[in-house]
Structure 1
Amino acid sequence: MQLHLQTVLLFAALTTAGVTVGIGLLAWRDRSAYLRDWAAALVAVCLGLALYGLREGLAAWLGVIVANLLLLSNQVFSWTGYARLFGVRRPWPWILAGYLAVAGVYVLLTYVWDSYTLRVLFFNALLCLLSAASALLLWDHRRRVGAAVLALPLGVHLLQVFLGLLRIGVTLHEGGVSQQSIYVSQGQIFVIMLNSLGVMAMAFGFMSLHAGRLLDVLETQAATDPLTGLLNRRGFDAALQREWRRHQRLGQGLALLMVDIDHFKQINDSQGHPIGDAALCHLAATLRQQLRPYDLIGRLGGEEFCVVLPGVSLELARQTAERLRRAPLGFVPEGEAAPVQMTVSIGVASGTPEDAGPEALLARADRALYQAKQQGRDRVVLSEPTA
């Protein structure tokens, strides 16, 4: 079966346009900058394919220079979209300088040395470099998105690197290529067709990454207390299980602090629930400020908080608890004149070989907190290891 280049290009442009509409609607609805970049990448490749397919009736500056710049823009905006998604800085001055340099080379290869072969080799060399840059960026952030989400976009960019090298090889093997022979060389047309299919697959890769990000957002929301921004009970239990497994595997210390605001019901009843909420947020901020960045903090419910201290002995956990208890917990709520004074009671427990699991450790810390309440509040009580 003979492949017709213009048919392949226009079919790819129209098919990609349909997917582009979907990405564009997502970008408009979600207002995510990375989606806008990906939509721009697909718009650029649609226009580039259309101009490339209709180039015989177009001026050289439009059918050659603009068309090739648009096709390369697909790779550029793909990369900037990934960079936005992962929070990587985008070197816009260098990108602009690169555009100007590439445009200058195309002007030379079109109007000074009119060489279709050199243009093909130059384009595919750039395609390989840009695709490799996107593949490398995706690979560097593979732990953030997961293998299943990453497989399609990473595979597409690796395929584009391979196809770019293949087209360079086919061009050199054929001893060069002319603008007329490109329409009859089945090898060239086949590689172009595979590249066009790769662009459509790239669009689905964009949607895969977006779906993965939405799933991450939902999982984060499901594990986060909306008032304080700390882990909620669900998120805390999962984090505690992970720390417990690490504690068992590495043999490092692990301590828990159960923290409870004293007489919290009186604050709510006498000053209102908004002040009570402000007290919870103030304690959460104090815990963040006083603890290490990798310590885990969760709000288990009501006025009860729990802190996981990895790699900490019972004595060091006691010192940490005393520092928290003595921290300035009084605050003046926004819009109020009178300060709110509060104290905390803290129960401390450290992991022992007798603990059957993190639940046992949590129960001991909770019992120590109960003892602190029974002994008059505003104090730290250590859990006695089980016999």
Structure 2
Amino acid sequence: MLLAGGFMAVAWAIAIAGGVSGPDARWRTPVFVVSIFAAGFGAVLLLGRRAPTWLLFAFPSVTAVLICTPPLVSQESTPAGSILLVWPILFAGYLLPERIAWATLGVSLGLLMAMALRVHSDGTVASCVEVGLSLVATAYITVHLRRHNRTLVYRLHQEARIDALTGLANRRAFDDLLERDFTLYQRRGDPLSLLAIDVDHFKRLNDRAGHPAGDAALAALAAVLAAQVRRGDIVARVGGEEFAVLLTDCPTGVAQHRARALRAVVAADSAAWPNPITVSIGVATVPAHADTPAGLVTAADTALYAAKAAGRDTVATAS
């Protein structure tokens, strides 16, 4: 719109300069400048691979100026022409920062006020007031809907990363956090340990007491694990009865000690539950047992299988 409107206005300005009837001479230079600027603006947006941020931010206001330039120069205005100001406000409200939307509204209202003062025709002031109220309502509704949508997107994003039963991070979130912490390990060199935790004989519990009882045990176990880790450590439910604890800046010896403490706390606390449980834990550390995130998970799982093979309710460390 800027490109086409700009070139049309340029042609009009040239025609006026050539003697065609139109606004008086003092308006010809401003019209010509606005036309050239609008045409260049549109060309950059259309032809440029990536427009500068300031150019995108200025786009709605420049569009509003281009829309209002003809009626300001010709001193003739129509409601249909003025209502086009809704489009730059919609663009700014949906696609640009909120402050740009309000700035565009301010520019548009200022242009409407200038039109009401300059254009001398019946109903011009009333028309500008009506259009101005429409613009205010459009800006408010657009910004409100965008805030609401942003809240919904954030909530959906969080729900997609949180296990519904336990409130812990799910497998997707755990994988992302593991990649993040592994990157930090590569930068700083601090050891990173992983505890792979599995509930012993969980299928037997479900068969004996029912799935609601199994879900209650998992939720209670999640609460115990979350209460025992340090701030900055990650607890996640990565499978049915499988949990993972990611320990930052934690060498193998400390991770083994914390794994044994967790096993003992779970056994002691669950003794008072309707269905007591025990857990087996596998311990692995970067760089002692792996040098990639996937390798760390594999090493911890292998150690977990060794703990279960050793009789369960115990801790084993990757070799």
Give the TM bin, normalised by the shorter chain: 0.5 to 0.7
Please report how far the alpha carbon of residue 3 of structure 1 lies from its aligned counterpart in structure 2 after TM superposition: 7.0
Contact 1:260 1:305 in 2 (8 A): yes
Please report how far the alpha carbon of residue 205 of structure 1 lies from its aligned counterpart in structure 2 after TM superposition: 2.8
Deviations 1:343-377 (A, max 9, x none): 11111111117734211001101111111111121
Q: Which has the larger radius of gyration?
A: 2
Unaligned residue ranges in structure 1 (runs of 5+):
20-147, 172-180, 334-338
Please report how far the alpha carbon of residue 202 of structure 1 lies from its aligned counterpart in structure 2 after TM superposition: 4.4
* Counterpart selection for 2:97 from 146, 149, 152: 152
Please report how far the alpha carbon of residue 196 of structure 1 lies from its aligned counterpart in structure 2 after TM superposition: 6.6
Please report how far the alpha carbon of residue 152 of structure 1 lies from its aligned counterpart in structure 2 after TM superposition: 3.4
Matched, 1:369 2:314: no
Deviations 1:124-148 (A, max 9, x none): xxxxxxxxxxxxxxxxxxxxxxxx9
Partners of 1:270 and 1:301 in 2: how far apart? 21
Partners of 1:3 and 1:290 in 2: how far apart? 74
**TM-score of the superposed pair, with normalisation by structure 2:** 0.60
**TM-score of the superposed pair, with normalisation by structure 1:** 0.51
Counterparts in 2 of 1:229 and 1:354: CA distance versus 1, 3 Å: closer
Aligned to 1:225: 163
Of all paired residues, the percent bearing the same amino acid is 36
Unaligned residue ranges in structure 2 (runs of 5+):
1-70, 120-124
User: 1:192-207, aligned counterparts within 5 Å?
Assistant: 197=135, 200-207=138-145
Matched, 1:184 2:117: yes
Partners of 1:243 and 1:203 in 2: how far apart? 41
Partners of 1:194 and 1:244 in 2: how far apart? 55
Counterparts in 2 of 1:243 and 1:211: CA distance versus 1, 3 Å: same
Please report how far the alpha carbon of residue 305 of structure 1 lies from its aligned counterpart in structure 2 after TM superposition: 0.5
Matched, 1:214 2:138: no
Q: How many residues align?
A: 232
User: 1:39-50, aligned counterparts within 5 Å?
Assistant: none
Counterparts in 2 of 1:198 and 1:310: CA distance versus 1, 3 Å: farther
Matched, 1:383 2:318: yes
Look up the equivalent residue of 1:226 and give its one-letter code.
A
Residue 269 of structure 2 aligns to a residue in which SS?
coil
Look up the equivalent residue of 2:155 and give its one-letter code.
V
Counterparts in 2 of 1:248 and 1:11: CA distance versus 1, 3 Å: same
Aligned-pair Cα RMSD in Å: 3.9
Residue 292 of structure 1 aligns to a residue in which SS?
coil
Partners of 1:218 and 1:376 in 2: how far apart? 41
Counterparts in 2 of 1:203 and 1:274: CA distance versus 1, 3 Å: same
Contact 1:228 1:280 in 2 (8 A): yes
Aligned to 2:27: none
Residue 258 of structure 1 aligns to a residue in which SS?
strand
Aligned to 1:311: 249
Residue 348 of structure 1 aligns to a residue in which SS?
strand
User: 1:1-387, aligned counterparts within 5 Å?
Assistant: 1=71, 2=75, 151-159=96-104, 183-184=116-117, 197=135, 200-327=138-265, 328-330=268-270, 339-352=274-287, 355-384=290-319
Please report how far the alpha carbon of residue 289 of structure 1 lies from its aligned counterpart in structure 2 after TM superposition: 0.9
Please report how far the alpha carbon of residue 304 of structure 1 lies from its aligned counterpart in structure 2 after TM superposition: 1.0
Look up the equivalent residue of 1:243 and give its one-letter code.
D
Counterparts in 2 of 1:3 and 1:204: CA distance versus 1, 3 Å: farther
